[in-house]
Amino acid sequence: MTYLLIDNSNTRTKFVLSTPDALLPERYMIPTREVSEERLDEVLAGVHYDAAVVCSVVPRVGEVLKNWIGKPCHFLSCDSRLGVGIDYPHPRQIGADRLANAVGAAAYYGCPCVVVDFGTAVTFDVIGPQCTYLGGVIAPGLASMGDYLERNTALLPAIDPQEPAHAIGTSTVEAMQSGAVYGYRGLVKEILARLEEELGTRPAVVATGGDAALIARGVERIDHVDPDITLNGLRIAAVLNL
Ligand SMILES: Nc1ncnc2c1ncn2[C@@H]1O[C@H](COP(=O)(O)OP(=O)(O)O)[C@@H](O)[C@H]1O
Ligand SMILES: CC(C)(COP(=O)(O)O)[C@@H](O)C(=O)NCCC(=O)O
Ligand SMILES: [K+]
C-alpha cells in the first residue's frame, strides 16, 4: 500500500509518498499559490499511489485536490481517527495541519508535548498528559518580521532571515536580521514558558516547519527539530482512516 501524503499549508504544499510504516524518499513541493490541476499533473506526473490523505488549510486548494485526486482520499479533520483525543471547545476551527502535528508528535514524542510549527504562521499546539489536543497559540510567521518592514517603510529592504553575526547590528540589514531572529526567538521562549506554566508539567517540545532549524538553534527549551512531524502525522492518519 503506497500513500500520497499532502500537506497543503499557506506557503508551500508538500507531497510525500509513504508506506504504512515509513515515509519514502519521493518528495514534491508546489508553492501553494501556484497549485492548479495542470500544475499537479505536471509535478506529480507518473507518481504511483493507492490512496491519499490530505491536511488542507487553504479551501481553494483543498477543492482543487479533491477534484484532482482520482484515488481513495481522506481529508484530515476533527472527525478523523487521530490516535489522540480532542479536548477543545471549537474542534472544527482547528487547522488540519495542527491536527496532523498533534498526531505525529504524540506518536513520536509522547504526551504531554508541544509542537511548534514555523510556517506562514507559527503555531504552538499543546497535547496534554492524557494525549488530548488542548489548544495552543497562533502568531505571525518569521517571514512577517521582514516582509512587514519592507512593505511599510521607505528605506528597509527585504531580508532572508539568517543567524545574526551579533545583536548590535552594524548595518541596516544586520539590524533587521537581529530584530527578526533574536526577536522571534524571544517570542518563542516567552510563549513556551507560559504554556509550560499553564500545563503544570514539562512537555516534550518539538519544532517543525521551514524556519524551525534557524530559530530552534537559539531556543534551548526546544527538545527536537523534526521536519517530518506533520507528514508522519498524515501517514499515521492514513493508516487509521483509509
Ligand atoms: N524549500 C524551503 N526549505 C526550507 N525553508 C523554506 C523553504 N521554503 C520556504 N521556507 C521557509 O519556511 C517558511 C514557511 O514555509 P512552510 O513551513 O512550508 O510554511 P507553511 O507550512 O505555512 O506552508 C517560509 O516562510 C520560508 O521562510
Ligand atoms: C494557523 C494556520 C494558518 C497555520 O497554517 P500554516 O502556517 O502552516 O500555513 C492554520 O493552521 C489554520 O488556518 N488554522 C485554522 C485556525 C485555527 O487553527 O484556529
Ligand atoms: K505548516
Q: Which residue's C-alpha cell is 526577536? A: 183
Residue nearest to ligand 2 atom 17, measured at CA = 94
Strands 113-118 and 121-127: antiparallel
Residues 83 and 150: their CA atoms lie apart, in Å, by 43
Q: Is 2 annotated as ligand-binding?
A: no
Instruction: Find the DSSP H helices in 69-171.
Output: 96-109, 143-152
DSSP state of 223: -
Q: Which residue's C-alpha cell is 499546539? A: 125
Residue 193: its pLDDT value, please? Answer: 98
User: Taking residues 13-20, what's their average pLDDT?
Assistant: 98
Residue nearest to ligand 1 atom 7, measured at CA = 210
Residue nearest to ligand 1 atom 21, measured at CA = 119
Using the predicted structure, report yes or no on whether residue 52 has a pLDDT greater than 90: yes
Mean pLDDT of the chain: 97
Whether pTM > 0.80 for this model: the answer is yes
Interface ipTM: 0.90
Q: Is 223 annotated as ligand-binding?
A: no
Q: How far is the CA of 138 from the centre of ligand 1 (A)?
A: 16
Q: Is 8 annotated as ligand-binding?
A: yes
User: pLDDT tens digits for 26-36?
Assistant: 999 999 999 99
Using the predicted structure, report yes or no on whether residue 39 has a pLDDT greater than 90: yes
If 0-12 CB within 10 Å is exposed, 13-18 middle and 19+ buried, where does residue 215 land? Answer: buried
User: Taking residues 164-193, what's their average pLDDT?
Assistant: 97
Ligand 2 site residues (CB inside 6 A) read 9-10, 57, 93-95, 97-98, 117, 119-121, 123, 138
- Paired residues of 206 in beta bridges: 115, 224
Residues 195 and 15: their CA atoms lie apart, in Å, by 31
Residues 190 and 183: their CA atoms lie apart, in Å, by 11
Residue nearest to ligand 2 atom 4, measured at CA = 121
Residues 137 and 196: their CA atoms lie apart, in Å, by 13
Q: How far is the CA of 229 from the centre of ligand 1 (A)?
A: 14
Residue 95: its pLDDT value, please? Answer: 98
Residues 148 and 176: their CA atoms lie apart, in Å, by 11
Residue 132: its pLDDT value, please? Answer: 98
Pocket test for ligand 2, best of 29, 30, 98 (most atoms within 8 A of CB): 98
Residue 179: its pLDDT value, please? Answer: 96
Angle at 83 between CA 79 and CA 89, to 5 degrees: 50
Q: Is 117 annotated as ligand-binding?
A: yes
- Listed as own residue / partner, the contacts of 178-185 with beta carbons closer than 8 Å and 24 or more positions apart are 179/145, 180/142, 180/145, 180/146, 181/214, 181/215, 181/218, 182/218, 183/145, 184/142, 184/145, 184/215, 185/215, 185/218, 185/219
Q: How far is the CA of 95 from the centre of ligand 2 (A)?
A: 5
User: pLDDT tens digits for 221-241?
Assistant: 999 999 999 999 999 999 999
If 0-12 CB within 10 Å is exposed, 13-18 middle and 19+ buried, where does residue 175 land? Answer: middle
User: Taking residues 45-56, what's their average pLDDT?
Assistant: 97
User: Taking residues 95-109, what's their average pLDDT?
Assistant: 98
Please confirm, yes or no, whether 97 is among the known catalytic residues: yes
Give the pLDDT band of residue 145 (cuts 50, 70, 90).
Answer: confident
